[in-house]
Structure 1
Amino acid sequence: MYNVGIDIGSTASKVVVLDDSKKEIVFKKVMPTGWSSVQASRDIEEWLLANGVTEDNRKVVATGYGRVSVPFADKVITEITCHGKGASFFNPGKDITIIDIGGQDTKVISFRDNFVDDFKMNDKCSAGTGKFLEVMAGRLGVDLDEMFALARKGKDIKISSMCTVFAETEIISLIGKGTPKEDIACGVIHSIINKVIILVNRIPKSDQYFLTGGFAGNDYMVEHLQELLKADVSTHEDGRFAGAIGAAMLAK
């Protein structure tokens, strides 16, 4: 029997297939959600069938922004619960606080005694999310990897605008003044990190943080979160699959 977790986010959709022991990832896939989460779920179903994961040998839990768009799911569960459970896959038996920087929202989840005991989310604004960084990278004419490489060489400058639209205008002004691209990249990334820290500080302090979402495995993000939180921040290259992993664990 396969346990399938599907996390349809606003930007990317992640799928994880666990074996029946819930300890081994058999298959995994990430793909752009695109304009339609319904179409994304159809593409996922085709991929599952192509890998021999059928209605007869699977249990499916869907989570994320587009979880209601998965008609073949046996159950839908909120991303807060699934991210908490998924992070425990990488940190078995530990009490941790999860920082999930997604495409359209950022979540901070306190996971204690194998359950979510508190969480906070940013408001309906992309200024502290991956989408914000994507927009700003586009304005600088670089991709996200290049953005982080530039930031390592730059000096932090304050990006004061709290809104993505106004921040983009602010960056255009900085470009016009001849501000080095490296400094702008550094300022943009640090503005996201500072917003994440504000969110983290709204729940009880933790000794152990775990980074998931699109920046999982990003050394720059981890280093600066550790510096500001004055605590250990770990991550994993598969951390972006945390929601899907948690959904698959709960499918058991």
Structure 2
Amino acid sequence: MPLHGCARRRIVRSRQREGRANSSWQFGGGDVVIITAGLDVGSTYTKAVIQAEDGEILGKAYGPTGFRLREVARSMYDEALEDAGLHEKDIDYLIATGSGRHQVDFKDLHVTDLTASARGACFLFPDTRTILDIGGQTMKASRVDKSAQVQSFRLNDKCAAGTGAFLEKTARYMGYSTQEIGALMTISKDPVPISGVCAVFAESEVINHLSIGTSPADIMQGAIESLTGRSVQLMKRVRAEPEYTLIGGILRFETMGRSVSEVLDAEVNVPDGEMVQYVSALGCAILARRRLDRLRSEGNLEAAVSA
């Protein structure tokens, strides 16, 4: 099933469109195709995905969420449309998720983060049974069944020490950018423990380690190992079972996935490259297509796409 990074099929209009009621498109072979969108307005970053009904990702975009949620949601959606070479009227259905989903005033529907991430993770890795999602401000573990339905979940949203934001803040404090975190961890030789139970205490530990000459690489790797310990404990609370799929922007750094795999003593799934941070937005686009399929089976498709 085609995903991002593959050659796009050429899309041509099947007829002149004046609104969403005329929303049929055709691939080169002439088959009518439905196009859906997913928007994940997270606490730190906002992601958008445009997907054709055969699973191909036509366009995507992401950027910092900031404080103007409506504006950034619109901006990322427009960028994804531009990346796909499409216009808003070409989209048949849009579902939003994330902490800012209620601020998206142009959505057709919204779903929870857990529902969206489960659908996206199981699309990429069909045998997924446990999902660990490490976001900028929250960390979530969930156990799903073979239909991608959430059976159990736990959240760690009381302290930033268990999230990606803590790693980014630690890097900045030591004078490194977020983009340099991955390279920094690869040169660690003797990681130091970061055992603080909250972000404030953990930051104090970082300061103490720097004051005695500990290398930034060893401090950063210690922070990763601390985050790994919290992650695995959260997974155990949902009675985690394989296959394990890890998602969230922090998984861009291979060290994080490898660390979780070592502690679990099991293989883990991690989406390739930047796709790791688009999983929930992808899940929304998939759910949008399923919603349209259901409406089509009920004879209400035209009403849905013209809404």
TM-score (normalizing by structure 1): 0.93
Matched with 1:128 is 162
- With 115-124 and 102-111 compared, the bigger mean Cα shift is at 115-124
Report the Cα distance in structure 1 between the residues aligned to 2:266 and 2:212, rounded to whole angstroms: 37
Counterpart of 1:80 in structure 2 is: 114
Q: How many Å separate the matches in 2 of 1:221 and 1:232?
A: 13
Match of 2:221 in 1: 186
Matched, 1:30 2:62: yes
* Alignment of 1:47 onto 2:79: yes
Q: RMSD value over aligned CA atoms?
A: 1.7
Instruction: Kindly state the Cα deviation for residue 56 of structure 1 after the two structures are TM-superposed.
Output: 5.5
Residue of structure 1 in register with 2:38 after alignment: 5
2:87 is paired with a residue whose SS is coil
CA deviations over 1:110-135 (Å, ceiling 9, x no partner): 12121111111103211110101011
Residues 179 and 40 (structure 1 numbering): CA distance in 2 closer, same or farther, change over 3 Å? same
Aligned-pair distance for 1:163?
1.4
Q: How many residues align?
A: 250
Greater Rg over alpha carbons, structure: 2
Distance 1:124 1:55, change over 3 A: farther
**Matched-pair identity in %:** 35
Q: Is the 8 A contact 2:129 2:146 kept in 1?
A: no
- The answer on whether the counterparts of 1:83 and 1:242 sit within 8 Å (CA) in structure 2 is yes
For 1:19, the equivalent position in structure 2 comes to: 52
Q: Select the residue among 210, 219, 229 that pairs with 1:175.
A: 210
Structure 2: gaps spanning 5 or more residues: 1-33, 290-307
* Structure 2 residue aligned with 1:207: 242
Contact 2:182/2:254 (<8 A) preserved: no
- Shift of residue 145, structure 1, vs aligned partner: 4.2
How far, CA to CA, are the matches of 2:90 and 2:268 in structure 1? Answer: 40
1:147-166 paired onto structure 2 within 5 Å: 147-152=181-186, 153-166=188-201
1:68 aligns with 2:102: yes
Normalization by structure 2: what TM-score? Answer: 0.77
State the 4+ residue runs in structure 1 displaced beyond 6 angstroms.
Answer: none
Unaligned runs of 5+ in 1: none
Residues 186/216 of structure 1: CA separation in 2 closer, same or farther (3 Å cut): closer
For residues 102-113 of structure 1, the aligned pairs below 5 Å read: 102-113=135-146
Residue 57 (structure 1) shift: 3.7
1:235 aligns with 2:270: yes
Please list the CA deviations of residues 188-230 of structure 1 after superposition, one character each: whole Å capped at 9, or x if unmatched: 1111111111111112131221111102343211111111001
Q: CA deviation at 1:149?
A: 2.8
Which one of 137, 141, 155 corresponds to residue 171 of structure 2? 137
Could you tell me how far apart the structure 1 residues matched to 2:80 and 2:203 are?
Answer: 40
In 2, Cα distance between the equivalents of 1:18 and 1:147?
31
- Secondary structure in 1 matching 2:237: coil
In the alignment, the residues of structure 1 paired with residue 270 and residue 77 of structure 2 have an alpha-carbon distance, to the nearest angstrom, of: 29
- Structure 1 range deviating more: 54-63 or 128-137: 54-63
Contact 1:16 1:244 in 2 (8 A): yes
Greater RCO, 1 or 2 (C-alpha within 8 Å, sep 6+): 1
Separation in 2 of the partners of 1:146 and 1:44?
25
Distance 2:192 2:92 in 1: 51
